[in-house]
Amino acid sequence: MTYPTFPENCTSMLCKHLTPELFEQLKDKKTANGFTLEKAIKSGIENVDSEIGVYAGDEESYEVFAELFDKVIEEYHQFSSTDVHESNLKAEDLNLRNLDTSYILSTRIRIGRNIKDMPLGASISKEQRDEIEKDVSSVLNGFEGELAGAYHPLLEMSQEVQLQLIEDHFLFKDGDRFLESSGLARHWPHGRGIYHNHDKTFLVWLNEEDQLRIISMQQGGDVVEVFSRLVTAMKEIEAKVPFAYSERLGYISSCPTNLGTAMRASVHIKLPNLANDMEQFKAIADKYYLQIRGTDGEHSQSKGGVFDISNYRRLGITEVEAVQDMIDGVIALVDAEKSLEA
């Protein structure tokens, strides 16, 4: 493989940090699973509009290709190579301050998880992936009370049901070019599916970008209720399923943006006036460590002034701090929206 050429307008962290010198230093390295630099950067080369453009194939990727991953991690999470990750799951430590929930349409908090001692999705075998689907879905199907529901494999789902679940924001999309280039969509739709409770307030995606995406969501802006449900579910699952975790990097994920808490706490919020003042919108987002996504999630556009606003950093801060970043930022955005309305 030779050093890739990126277009001049490429802004991904891959094209920013992968210098010709670093490429030479890493290009012949391999993890025990056979994961190479070529595989790690394939998605970013084929999708030059990536935000990051690099994926890990296993926990060891973060060590073998540390000179590249650490640069991304440091820039994305403001987390240096000597920092350590900490956790706080106490809902009572959240400070809602004067959060005006009338602008919030819905709230969702998700975490990514991967199975201990298994390769990550970009280098897992079909048999290993199928085994994860079988084991985890049988744990989930045993849940009772509010979390009780059923697992629905993609293979057995009609196209109509699948499209409806995607449109209603419950299910991951199909045919994601970033996942396809990275090797994360191999053997699709085998091994993929969604578990959800009866009210669709607790959901688990299996074998998409991460082996598990554990999700709590509901209409409106009750962040504490959404967080508390997520923590209950997470503890129940973790008691039965061992997850990949590192002292330094927290929970291990396919994408370096999802290390640490692997938590993205978001609201769908209508901000039509700020939508017409993107300079102010982005300045507030930067100040409060927010990520602005479109109505249908990552790599999508806003529809009708509805945005997906979430915490940006996920490593080097606790779960409570991740959600607090979102709350503080949303308060500032709503204040700005109200001023523009006036």
Q: Which is nearer to ligand ADP, 64 or 212 (CB)?
A: 212
> Residue 315 burial by CB count (10 A; 0-12/13-18/19+): exposed, middle or buried?
buried
Residue 255, binding choice from ligand IOM, ligand ADP, none, Cβ under 5 to 8 Å by partner class: ligand IOM
The answer on whether 107 is annotated among ligand-binding residues is yes
Q: Edge-to-edge strands of the sheet including 263-270? A: 149-153, 193-197, 202-206, 212-219, 104-113, 263-270, 306-311, 290-293
Residue 293, binding choice from ligand ADP, ligand IOM, none, Cβ under 5 to 8 Å by partner class: ligand ADP
Residue from 17, 110, 129, 152 binding ligand ADP (CB under 6 A): 110
Instruction: Please give the DSSP secondary-structure letter assigned to residue 260.
Output: B
To 10 degrees, what angle do helices 223-238 and 126-141 make?
A: 110
Window of 63-71, 154-162, 242-250, 266-274 that interacts with ligand ADP by CB under 6 A? 266-274
Distances (CA, A) of 218 to 91, 224, 281, 303: 17, 11, 25, 20
Pick from 238, 151, 137: which is nearest to 197 by CA?
151
- Which token pair is 159? 């196209």
Pick from 204, 228, 217, 210: which is nearest to 320 by CA?
228
Q: Torsion over CA of 302, 55, 12 and 299, rounded to 10 degrees?
A: -10
What is the contact mask toward ligand IOM in residues 236 to 275, using x (rule: CB under 6 A)?
Answer: -------------------x-x------------------
Residue from 17, 39, 85, 293 binding ligand ADP (CB under 6 A): 293
Q: Which is nearer to ligand IOM, 70 or 130 (CB)?
A: 70
110 in active site: yes
Residue from 27, 29, 169, 200 binding ligand ADP (CB under 6 A): 169
255 in active site: yes
Residue from 31, 33, 36, 50 binding ligand IOM (CB under 6 A): 50
Q: Which is nearer to ligand ADP, 87 or 219 (CB)?
A: 219
Residue from 59, 308, 321, 328 binding ligand ADP (CB under 6 A): 308
Instruction: Compute how many other C-beta atoms are within 10 angstroms of the C-beta atom of residue 201.
Output: 20
Least Å distance, CB 117 to ligand ADP, is: 24
The answer on whether 264 is annotated among ligand-binding residues is yes
Least Å distance, CB 309 to ligand ADP, is: 8
- Give the C-alpha separation, 189 to 186, whole Å: 8
Q: Which residue has the tokens 């523009």?
A: 340
Instruction: Compute how many other C-beta atoms are within 10 angstroms of the C-beta atom of residue 339.
Output: 11
191-196-197 Cα angle (round to 5): 150
Binding positions for ATP are 106-110, 169, 213, 264-268, 293-298
User: Active-site residues: which are they?
Assistant: 110, 209, 213, 255, 257, 264, 293, 298
User: Which residues of this chain interact with ligand ADP, rule CB under 6 A?
Assistant: 106-108, 110, 169, 213, 217, 264, 266-268, 293, 296-298, 308
